[in-house]
Chains A and B, each alone.
Chain A
C-alpha cells in the first residue's frame, strides 16, 4: 500500500489527512499493519469493499432512483423496463 506521504503527494493533501484515511481502512479491516514494513491489503479486503459498495453505495443510488421515479409518477413496472433496456444496451457494448 502507498504510504501516507506518497498518498499526500499524489493527491496534494495533508499527510495527516492521508493517515486518517488509511486508519479508517485499517479499522474496517481492509488494510492491516505489518510492524516496521507498512500497510498491506488484507486477504478479505476486496470482498469487504465489494460488499460495502453493494450495501451502501449501490443501495443508496437505487434509493435515489426510486424516489426520483416516484416524484415523476413512474410505476415500478416502467422503471424496471428502463433498467432492463439499459442493461441490454450495456451488454451490447
Chain B
C-alpha cells in the first residue's frame, strides 16, 4: 500500500517556488530518508504531508486523503522537529498525559520509560529546556505516539552524541516491534544511512532520485590517479564530480554503468578505484556546479 502519493506538487512562497512539480510515492512500513541541501524544500514537503500548510497546486494524498485540514491526518501523522509548540503553562509530565488524548496509538509505558531514562524533571516546562533536551523530549512524543506515519525533521538538532545513538536505537527497536512508515530528514546521512531502507533525494523542489539505499551505494564509484589514465577510463562515463588533487592527479566520481572489466583496466593503469561514501555522493549529486569550494579560491 502507498502511504503517500503526490504528483506535480508545487508550493510557492510569494515568488519563490519551494516545491516545483514534485512527484513521488512512499510505500507502507518503510523507513525513508529525505535528503537534500539547505533550502531544497525538505521541510516544506514534510509540513504539507503533515497537513500544516496547504499546497499551491498539484496533488497530494496521505492514506488516500488530502492531508490539509484533515482530522484523520492529525491523529495518524505526527511531525516532529525542534519547533514543536506546547502550551507553556503545562509541565512536561502533564504534556505526556495530554498528548495521549491526541494520538490513538499512544503508548504510555514507552513514553514514561523514555522520559525517566533521559532523566527529565516532570515539573519543568517545555520552553525552559535546552536545545538538546527539547529535541529529546519531542523525540519521545514522536516515538510514543506510534503514528502510522511518523515524520522526524532534523530530529537530532542539539542532541549530544550519546543521545543521538540512543535515539537511533530506540527508533529501530520500536519500529521492529511496531512497524510503521517513518520519514527521517537529516543532514547527517552517514549517521542514519544504516537505518534507512529507501532514500528520497530532492533538489530545487524536485525529486532528484528515489531508490533503495542498497542501490544508491552502488550508484557511483571514484577513480583516482594520473590525469591521462583517469581521462581515458572515464571518457565514456557520466562524470558526477571531478577534482584535481595535484597537478597530475585527478579524483573523479562516475556513475556506475555496470561495466565489469573497468576494475582490471584501472588496476593495470595504476588508477585506484574506491566506493563513494553516501553522504559525499549526495553532496556531489545535489551540487549546483561540478566543482567544489576550491573553485571559489581558484582565480583561474
Contacts and interface: CB of A to CB of B under 8 A. Distances in A.
B176 A12 contact: no
A12 B195 contact: yes
B214 A12 contact: no
Interface string A1-31: 0000100110111111100100000000000
A16 B197 contact: yes
Interface string A50-75: 00000000000000000000000000
B281 interface: no
14 contacts: A8-B172, A9-B173, A9-B176, A12-B169, A12-B195, A13-B172, A13-B194, A13-B195, A14-B195, A14-B196, A15-B176, A16-B30, A16-B212, A17-B214
Nearest to A67: B267
B31 interface: yes
A12 B171 CA distance: 10
Interface of B: 30-31, 168-169, 172-173, 176, 194-197, 212-214
Given A5-B176, A8-B176, A20 B214 contact: yes
B213 A9 contact: no
A47 B212 CA distance: 32
B213 A17 contact: yes
A12 B175 CA distance: 11
Interface residues of A, number: 11
Contacts of B168: 12
Given A14-B195, A16-B212, 4 more contacts: A14-B172, A14-B197, A17-B194, A20-B214
A20 B212 CA distance: 11
Given A5-B176, A8-B176, A9-B176, A17 B169 contact: no
B191 to A, nearest CB: 11
A8 B172 CA distance: 8
Nearest to B171: A12
B172 A9 contact: yes
Given A17-B213, A17-B214, A20-B214, A12 B194 contact: yes
A5 B197 CA distance: 14
B31 A14 contact: yes
Contacts of B214: 17, 20
Contacts of A16: 30, 197, 212
Contacts of B195: 12-14
Contacts of A11: 194
